[in-house]
Amino acid sequence: MWPGNTNHPIGGLRRANREIGVPRFQPISAVPKELFLKIIAAALVLALIWTAVLIFIARTVGLHSTPGMWTGAVGLPGVVIANWIQGQLFHRFHRPLGYSLMFVINWVFYCSVLQGIVSFKHRIWAK
């Protein structure tokens, strides 16, 4: 039982919210298939370009240069999580594995960011 105005169990609150018209969370299947594929493709292209630029910068001016730092900032989730995974599981850094992990992690991250932008845009313009 929750303290406060009501003492309904959680299931009772869900039923009450449905009765008064509170919208429930919409699963990803609510997104049209064409839009969903566009989001995945756009995120894939962004992640591929970012990974290629990162590899190019690492081989030319270095990752501790200004372009290297900015590239790392743009791909922050992938850089941090991939390095953490490698440090925890392998105790050393393997470049091809690192770049692959960074690509996959950033792809998922960019998918979620693009989905958020699309959802926000639909919410603003739907009213």
Joined tokens for residue 119: 């959802």
Joined tokens for residue 58: 């690492």
CA within 13 Å, CB half, 66: 0
Question: What residue type is assigned to position 64 of the chain?
Answer: H
Dihedral, 76, 82, 84, 88 alpha carbons, nearest 10? 180
In the prediction, which pLDDT does 119 show? 83
pTM of the model: 0.71
In the prediction, which pLDDT does 90 show? 83
The phi-psi region of residue 31 (left if phi > 0; otherwise alpha if psi is between -120 and 50; otherwise beta) is beta
**Domain residues of the chain, as ranges?**
27-126
In the prediction, which pLDDT does 8 show? 52
CB 46 within 8 A of CB 110: yes
In the prediction, which pLDDT does 51 show? 94
Average pLDDT per 10 consecutive residues for the chain, totaling 127 residues: 51 55 56 85 96 94 93 90 90 89 95 90 76
